[in-house]
């Protein structure tokens, strides 16, 4: 099962945590991450790298509380996007860093549900309680008043580095990093996503950045909008064909990649 996070125990009492996918989905929960983190209670520093469109608010809150209660110094950094539940995790940092052209997005919690009137009312009450928790977390970091935070949540606010720094969501700005666009699969969840996160570079630029099979799989998902399962299958097939001694097989994959690039360029 593919995980949306990775934990690496670095030397000298430092742990690196990466969250570079949707949070708490695909059968892997915050409990799994927290269990791993509990194996590193003796470390003095935790570095958290975030590039995520969000996911489960409950898992985001659980990770936030686990990091806040950990005895280590916590450094969180936005690599590209920290949206929705990922912005909650971001707030756990004792020091929060982001590039100027990265984004933090905060919005009201939402859920898809079917049920009778009583169930819907109960769900609405639950969402209000989650929003109150978010307001409290953001207030602790930023010092912004409740009304301002509620307005930002209602507006589905995308904050670039300067905005996030001005509002107090981050402590340190770094130079721009040319943030990659979100895949169509992720972008469709948001109402007002910035154009810079939906506009891809040219296909030739993107292909030039591919140096590993993992890069190729990510390219298929981000540029082509393929599902994780489809991208993994295509990558596996490409690997098999390129390892073949058959010139015909290698020609097939080269032709397929050329056709794929042409198709994506027309999107």
Tell me the sheet residues that pair with 120: none
Question: What's the full length of the chain, in residues?
Answer: 267
Tell me which of 18, 84, 87, 218 is the catalytic residue: 84
84 among known catalytic residues? yes
| Angle at 145 (CA atoms; ends 30, 106), nearest 5 degrees | 40
Helix-helix angle 117-142:146-154, to 10 degrees? 120
Termini Cα distance of the chain: 31
Spatial neighbors of 92 by CB under 8 A, at least 6 apart, are 48, 63, 64, 67, 68, 74, 76
Spatial neighbors of 209 by CB under 8 A, at least 6 apart, are 215, 219
Nearest to 216 by CA among 199, 230, 235, 201: 235
Tell me which of 51, 52, 107, 218 is the catalytic residue: 107
204 among known catalytic residues? no
Which ranges of the chain does DSSP label H, i.e. alpha helix?
30-37, 57-69, 85-90, 117-142, 146-154, 161-167, 184-187, 203-208, 213-222, 228-242, 247-265
The answer to whether the beta carbons of residues 153 and 78 sit under 8 Å apart is no
Cite the active site residues.
84, 107
């Amino acid at each position: 099962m593919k995980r949306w996070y990775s934990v690496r125990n670095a030397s000298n009492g430092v742990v690196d945590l990466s969250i570079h996918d949707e949070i708490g989905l695909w059968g892997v929960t915050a409990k799994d991450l927290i269990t791993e983190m509990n194996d590193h209670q003796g470390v003095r520093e935790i570095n958290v790298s975030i590039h995520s469109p969000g996911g489960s608010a409950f898992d985001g809150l659980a990770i936030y509380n686990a990091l806040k209660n950990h005895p280590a110094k916590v450094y969180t950094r936005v690599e590209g996007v920290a949206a929705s539940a990922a912005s909650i995790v971001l707030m756990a940092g004792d020091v929060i860093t982001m590039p100027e052209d990265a984004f933090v997005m905060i919005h009201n919690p939402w859920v898809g549900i079917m049920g009778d009137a009583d169930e819907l009312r109960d769900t609405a009450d639950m969402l209000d309680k989650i929003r109150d928790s978010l307001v409290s977390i953001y207030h602790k970091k930023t010092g912004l008043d409740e009304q301002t935070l509620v307005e930002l949540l209602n507006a589905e606010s995308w904050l670039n580095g300067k905005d996030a720094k001005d509002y107090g969501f981050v402590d340190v700005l770094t130079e721009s990093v040319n943030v990659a666009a979100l895949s169509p699969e992720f972008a469709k969840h948001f109402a007002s996503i910035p154009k810079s996160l939906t506009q891809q570079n040219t296909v030739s630029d993107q292909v030039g950045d591919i140096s590993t099979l993992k890069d190729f799989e990510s390219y298929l998902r981000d540029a082509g909008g393929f599902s994780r399962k489809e991208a993994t299958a295509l990558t596996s097939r490409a690997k098999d064909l390129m390892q073949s001694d058959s010139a015909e097989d290698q020609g097939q994959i080269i032709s397929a990649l050329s056709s794929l690039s042409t198709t994506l360029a027309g999107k």
